[in-house]
Amino acid sequence: MVSITHFVNYSIEKLIEAHNIDVLLIEPEDGFSQLGNARSFLTQDLGLEDRNLVRWTLDGMKPDFEPSISSLSDWARHTDPDVTLIAIPSNRAFSQLKGLILVPYADSLCYKQFAQGEFARPYRDFFYNVTYEALFYASHIWQAKRPAIGHLSREKYRDIYQQDITTCQVEASLHICNEFKGIEEITFWDCTNGNDVNYSVEYFAKEERINHHKKIKVSIQKKGKIDFVELDWN
């Protein structure tokens, strides 16, 4: 049986050393964020290049679309109008992670077409589908057994976690676990307290059933070793 676990305020290094995760699914927010704090370690572990900050600054900090975590996360968050997962595989034979998937979130440019207003509930199809397809890719392309998921709310850095987003992510996780074999554990990884993963898990347990997953259109474009996975459920 697949287990869903929740870790709060653990470093990515600790989770990997304890063999809790083998792929990271996280929102493309660099800087003072979970991804920003883990970027140096992820860059080294995956064998990626660091962004040339001097050249980028001198160029006016424009989107440079280089194969680095900083460049790709900025492009995904601020420039890409489409709902796109960016799957970055490890370049090292002995990497501890199989790869990193940048997942669109509530502050991504592509989410604006779905947002219903500042105080409206999150758009369920968006958060469900980006989580489901990221997990599907990780398990089917990279044969991941222990993926870790970051919360997809922009408010979490103010210690505000939207429970509806958590529920969408848990539902997608349960669908993946019910429909496919291979995944052993799914970890929800948060930087602060406030995300009640158990509440959403227990909600579906009380329901005793969840609806079947509805397939959507997914297309993949390769640029070097990196896959750009575009989602379309219209």
H or E stretch at 102:
strand 99-102
Query: Is the predicted pLDDT of residue 218 greater than 80, yes or no?
Result: yes
What pLDDT shows up at residue 3?
86
The β-bridge partners of 189 are 7, 150
Query: Is the predicted pLDDT of residue 54 greater than 50, yes or no?
Result: no
- In 3D space, the residue among 19, 77, 69, 30 whose CA is nearest the CA of residue 46 turns out to be 69
| Contact yes or no for 158/199 (Cβ under 8 A) | no
Range with the poorest average pLDDT among 51-55, 81-85, 89-93, 165-169: 51-55
What pLDDT shows up at residue 210?
73
Domain count, the chain: 1
The pTM for the full model equals 0.93
| Residue 128, token pair as written in the block | 């469900």
Distance CA 140, CA 134 (A): 10
For residues 109 and 57, the model is more confident at: 109
One DSSP character per residue, 150-212 reads E---GGGGGT---HHHHHHHHHHHHHHHHH-S---EEEEEESSS---HHHHHHHHHHH---PP
Distance CA 164, CA 200 (A): 9
Encode pLDDT of 117-164 as tens digits.
766 789 999 999 999 999 999 999 999 999 999 999 988 888 889 999
Strand 23-26 to 99-102 pairing: parallel
Place of tokens 């669109």: 104
Distance CA 197, CA 49 (A): 34
User: What domain range includes position 33?
Assistant: 3-232
Split at pLDDT 50, 70, 90, the class of 181 is confident
Split at pLDDT 50, 70, 90, the class of 57 is low
What pLDDT shows up at residue 86?
98
What distance lies between CA 191 and its chain's CA centroid? 14
Distance CA 204, CA 42 (A): 33
Average pLDDT over residues 93-122: 90
Distance CA 234, CA 232 (A): 6
- In 3D space, the residue among 42, 49, 151 whose CA is nearest the CA of residue 100 turns out to be 42
Split at pLDDT 50, 70, 90, the class of 60 is low
Residue 15: CATH number of its domain: 3.40.220
| Contact yes or no for 179/213 (Cβ under 8 A) | yes
